[in-house]
Amino acid sequence: MSQGETLIHYAPVAQPNTEALDLFRCLPIYRTAEGQEFGTDVVLGHKGDIENTAGRNAAILRLIFKALFRAHAQGQYVQVIVPVNSIALANRKGATIIHDVFAELEQESRAALTIEIFNLPEKVSIDSLSDITIPMLPYTDRFIAHPHPAMEDYTVFANCNYRGVACDMATTEGDDAKQLDDLTDFWGEATKRRLGLCVQNAATDKIVATARRWEAIHIDGPLIAPPVERPGAEA
């Protein structure tokens, strides 16, 4: 029986004040031999063992770093948003695994990194968020958070100097009006804490237009450009 494969797709990200699509959000995928695909939550998900979770996150980071180095070597100065499961840094061994893989990245490529921390608990303290962030801080100071859906106050992210918070429209429920209401609430809390708004998987003209009007720092989705197989590739 043939085995599946792990690969990375790269979603072009729109940013304010530029037409260039040179920032890419990394989308890890596991494709079975039968063609079924599983996304980030499965590929990087926590399965009960912190070191195992850290190891799988590190393996994906290595794939991304190779693609980033290759693009830079070809003269394409692209940037990437890399996902990291917060649970991968939940103990010293896991944090060391993640720290060490970031240390492998070429010095000149580190400025091209933004780290997106996902799978955060509902309640996050400054100390717990610092424990997650500090192992990666020598390699980039650009962090965004994907808050727990039940989290209502984003002060902790501002206090830890995160650039922004991400709202994934693919996980919101209801019709367009309900999605817009949810995004409005999210934007309101982000703005209150002076955090940038990151809108992921924007799939309607209304959502994209609203995100642009609110000067979202990141917007991706099918109306921006479809994912590509390597950073810097044409959609």
Question: What is the share, in percent, of the chain residues with pLDDT greater than 70?
Answer: 97
Mean pLDDT of the chain: 93
Helix axes 176-192, 205-213, angle to 10 degrees: 20
pLDDT tens per residue, range 177-231: 889 999 999 999 999 999 999 999 999 999 999 999 999 999 999 999 999 999 9
Task: Tell me whether strands 164-168 and 143-145 are parallel, antiparallel or unpaired.
Answer: parallel
Q: Are 225 and 21 in contact (CB under 8 A)?
A: yes
149, HSE (Cβ side, Cα atoms, 13 Å): 7
Taking the domains of the chain in order of start, what are their residue ranges? Answer: 5-219
For 91, the 3-state DSSP assignment is coil
May I ask the CATH architecture of the domain 5-219? Answer: Alpha-Beta Barrel (3.20)
Q: Are 146 and 110 in contact (CB under 8 A)?
A: no
**Residue 44: per-residue pLDDT:** 80
Averaged pLDDT for residues 103-130: 95
**Residue 1: per-residue pLDDT:** 36
Quickly state the pLDDT bin for 232 (edges 50, 70, 90).
confident
**Residue 2: per-residue pLDDT:** 52
pLDDT tens per residue, range 71-82: 999 999 999 999
Find the length of the chain: 235
